Structure 1
Amino acid sequence: MSGGPTSAPAAARTSTLAPQAADRAAKRERVLALLERRGADSIVLRSHTAVAWYLDGARTHVSLAADPVVAVVVRPGGDEVRVFANEAERLLAEELGDTSGLDVVRVPWHDELAPASLADLDEPDADAELRAARASLLPGELARYRALCREVAEALTDAAIEADPADAERDVAARLAAGLVSRGIDPLVTLVAGRSRLAYRHPLPTAATLGDRAMLVACGRRHGLIANATRWVRFGPAGPAEADAERRIHAVEAAFFDATRPGATLGDAFRAGIAAYARHGFDAEEWRRHHQGGAAGYAGRDPRGTPAVADVVQLGQAFAWNPSAPGTKVEDTVLVAEGATEVLTVDPRWPTTRLGGLDRPIELDREGDGVARVPDGARSAAVASGMSRPSGGLDDGVRFG
């Protein structure tokens, strides 16, 4: 494992994969099929999730905390893209790509961007159907997603390698966010917890120092797609209890993965995952103390899993399950592939263990000098691919790229 950040320039690392006309046409056909099923002539898409998906990853924001500055009305006769006039030239030049076939309407910034009366259906009227329409990733967006996920994993590795026990959580979060931004990735979530704050499942970074153990979480968005991952770093060997908890939370995650198969519902996968807590020695109610993740892609969770979610898992759909318990958590963005789970947030530099046919991240054990310590007897093997077919067995070999 290397002892420093990735060496490639940021511009070289950043994906420049262009939107594909075939993808946009396929998305339009999916929405037109929705309209036909509903007996409607039009629908207005107004959320960051729906608009970025439909417009092939266009950046729809100015402020990450504000509503989109662009909306789309989809009709059988053509698409109307409504843009605030003061943002129109930049969006047309840098975000929207090929606008042939699009009716671009400039809306004064002080007017309502897309009144509900513009269309038969408003986006909230068809939430579940739109989720289903964007669930199975198309070739162009899947290529962009793989690149994004890889680079989010790299940014987490870089931040962990640079971390020191005396660092403030905020300083580590700043380096993590900078690593994302340098790759053209919006840092939607950057969480850091040192030893004193590991009890919190969503630890917004503070001035507290890391101490001997820390958790880093990143959710990064590029081309409208969002990658999610969690990593742990420690400065010295793990105690038996913490090592055991890590092993058991991976087993819970494996139950989520095994149940996330095409044709099952998210509710089915969720119930299978939460049932594994008690089976692996955790409190049976542990799942109630933190959300467990769910489908991923153009939203952080699209949707978040609960027992009641009836959305059907599709081939080519992304997921980010994140089971957790006190002092332990695991999270990666994965793809439901043919007969397999493909892990997307992979950096070969990060140590892994083999579980259920997948290479899963374990704690990065460091001496505090910026260099990973390879445990005695560990096998050194680069992770050539994040895809593996479930085998159902545990291989305790530790791997480093």
Structure 2
Amino acid sequence: MTAPLTDVPLTAELLRGALDVERTPLGLLPHRLPAWARAQNTDGQLAMAESQPSGVRIALRTRATTVELDTLPTKRVYVGAPPRPEGLYDLVVDGELAGQRSVDGGHTLTIDMAKGTFEHKPGAPGTLRFTGLPGTPKDVEIWLPHNETTELVALRADAPVEPAPAPDRPVWLHHGSSISHGSDAASPTTTWPALAASRAGVELINLGFGGGALLDPFTARTLRDTPADLISVKIGINIVNADLMRMRAFTPAVHGFLDTIREGHPTAPLLVVSPILCPVHEDAPGPSAPDFGADADGRVTFKAMGDPAETALGKLTLRTIRAELARIVEERAADDPHLHYVDGLDLYGEADHAELPLPDDIHPDAATHRRIGERFADLGIIPLSGRVSI
């Protein structure tokens, strides 16, 4: 006889990877920036990105064989682009992937990249159900879709549930762009940071924000204030494709960003990671622009709108950013032995691009996420058993 499902109170204690949890009329909305930082942001793209729960998971200890979750996702539609795949929820049982589901319904956000407009259409919550779980005590994680804002509405199970015990492993705090956020990864546990964290045995807090790695002071203060054993910041591609600043502003902004992080983490290993290869912007400055219909399959690709000759005037390319980040880290490391530089080309370079080209000329696909994650973990720069080897 199947045991009846009972309601499980949704509380912030059930969540990992979120820095803030907003109570809504329907339930809980996880955030990856705290409320004070969100109050200082005026950019709709960043507001959307930080509310997409990349790396956020519900973590339970239970004997339940069936778990149900009601959520209200926000699904994106891009004008002129093919439909996006449904967001996936990954079920992880005692560290192993045990199932995947999607939720029907939800809000719809229609984005016109050419016009820079957004249209929100409200929708209804949906339900996902995981069954056939072992009836023994176990740790259950439900990783929320990395690319869909997800409001948690209700949780049910056929056995008592409690928050999973705090993990006994180092915490890795990472900040980066849409690539770190997980753009075009297959699922939330297969973004490159999630893969690297799993491979290295560390607890991930992912502050990768699509379009939002722009050296914002409130992001630096968030990194400063978040407890962690290792911090990494991946800097470059958003600075270029937003055409946000020139070299004159970039260098002091990087110094200020690192100075702020060091206020809260004076001796923690701090990794500065430069951009992976992106031929579109290696020598051509931004901004980037979508190129609708350029791909034979109708996919949107991106092109650089800047003139390479403008680098002489201080406009930034990925090549100039890598050189400047390496110089900054070398200079600062004389007084900061725990500061290290990671060349993004060691994670994905020319040979990788020949084998696994970027489908839209900016973002890696699922196979490339796996390669980057494995390489990052295998560089020996993520702490293992509480220690870092570099």
**Structure 1 or 2: larger helix share?**
1
**Structure 1 or 2: larger strand share?**
2
| Structure with more relative contact order (C-alpha pairs < 8 Å, separation 6 or more) | 2
| TM-score, normalisation: structure 2 | 0.24
| TM-score, normalisation: structure 1 | 0.24
